[in-house]
Amino acid sequence: MAAPIITLEKVEKRFGDVVALGGVSGEIRAGEFFSLLGPSGCGKTTLLRCIAGFEDPTSGAIILDGKHMEGVPANHRPTNMVFQSYAIFPHLSVAENVGYGLKKQRISRAERAQRVEEALAMVDLAGYGHRASHALSGGQRQRVALARALVMRPKVLLLDEPLSALDKKLREQMQVELRRLQRAVGITFILVTHDQEEALTMSDRIAVMFGGQIAQLDTPQNLYRRPMSRQVASFIGFMNFLDAEIRADGGHSIDLDVAALGRVEVPSSQRPGKPNGRKVSVGIRPEMLTILMTDSETAEREIEAEVVDAAYYGDMTYYDVRFPGVAEPAQISMRNTAGRRILEAGDRARVGWSSESIVVLD
């Protein structure tokens, strides 16, 4: 495990009576692609701005590369930021923008020009140095902002929702490029985003934030498969919830009675959040439920259900099915493979599931 480049110790930030950060702790490892994910107002941007030095935490400590950052202004921190608005200086050319920070450093004009050109080449803008910055497209401005930050060779690159202003196609292309760039330069990236898909596809680890707290800090796979709370489970992808009761807790495994699904025993690793009490809920993803179309198809566990609604999306069909005794329909996603039937509302369906696909939540 790599050493932490940033350690957050109970970082708290208040704006008057409003608590933006309620004591956030965690470690960000050197060289990883780290994302701060959450709905707007969850404090993710405030945390990023505290790391950058634009906001001073009310209490708590930020340790960056072994040094306490308290009282260190933004211009003396080994971090650089890509702003949401890109903040390209409109009165300067592309090269002057990228070379802006280098001018303060004691390096020769020739070396400066060379580093600017290298940085522009890194973001596929070689030869654009003499362009006026206001004549650039949104995607190009984004690249200039990236080059301007990377040319400083920061220890940590901070990205404040850098893709939110781009259209869908360009955004997906930039996601791939950002990831490639991060691997190439090996710098720690911290990305702020409200887009869970973006966070899942790009990050090594993600901190999911709600109401100024980190709800879960984990890898994308663990966040999706083993969320620690209902809040995290429903923020990342879609999750079906069923009421359940703990019958026996054997330490290594738990014996559950789940509404509609019945009795099941799962290892305690499928209860990552360690909820208190006997009344819990069980989460199961739409793709973990399978409609068994023919008699020859079988599953570890099966249950009879009724199709309430079917939405055909071409590659996928999304079903709402009702389990006996459960009011809220469950969502099931089925890939439309060759020859597979499409059911209609009112059809009876055999639904297959397995004990390892469920997660026990609060």
Stretch that binds another protein, among 144-152, 226-234, 283-291, 299-307 (CB under 8 A): 144-152
CA distance 228 to 234: 11
Stretch that binds another protein, among 97-105, 119-127, 180-188, 341-349 (CB under 8 A): 97-105
Q: Does 80 sit near another protein (CB under 8 A)?
A: yes
Residue 202 main-chain phi, psi, to 5 deg: -100, -25
Q: Does 164 sit near another protein (CB under 8 A)?
A: no
CA distance 244 to 264: 10
CA distance 313 to 332: 13
Question: Tokens for 25?
Answer: 């702790």
Q: Which of 25, 58, 84, 355 binds another protein (CB under 8 A)?
A: 84
Q: What b-and-e string marks burial along 28-53, b requiring 16 or more CB atoms within 10 Å of the CB? A: beebbbbbbbbeeebbbbbbbbbbbb
Instruction: Pick out residues in 36-65 that bind another protein (CB under 8 A).
Output: 52-54
Residue closer to another protein (CB basis): 73 or 250: 73
**Per-residue CA distances from 132 to 90, 129, 135, 152, 170 (Å):** 8, 8, 6, 21, 22
Residue closer to another protein (CB basis): 91 or 168: 91
Q: Does 83 sit near another protein (CB under 8 A)?
A: yes
Stretch that binds another protein, among 87-95, 116-124, 184-192, 257-265 (CB under 8 A): 87-95
Q: Does 318 sit near another protein (CB under 8 A)?
A: no
Q: Does 115 sit near another protein (CB under 8 A)?
A: no
Q: Which of 66, 71, 75, 168 binds another protein (CB under 8 A)?
A: 75
CA distance 95 to 92: 8
What residues make contact with another protein under the rule CB under 8 A? 52-54, 73-76, 79-81, 83-85, 87, 89-91, 100-101, 104-105, 132-135, 148-149, 152
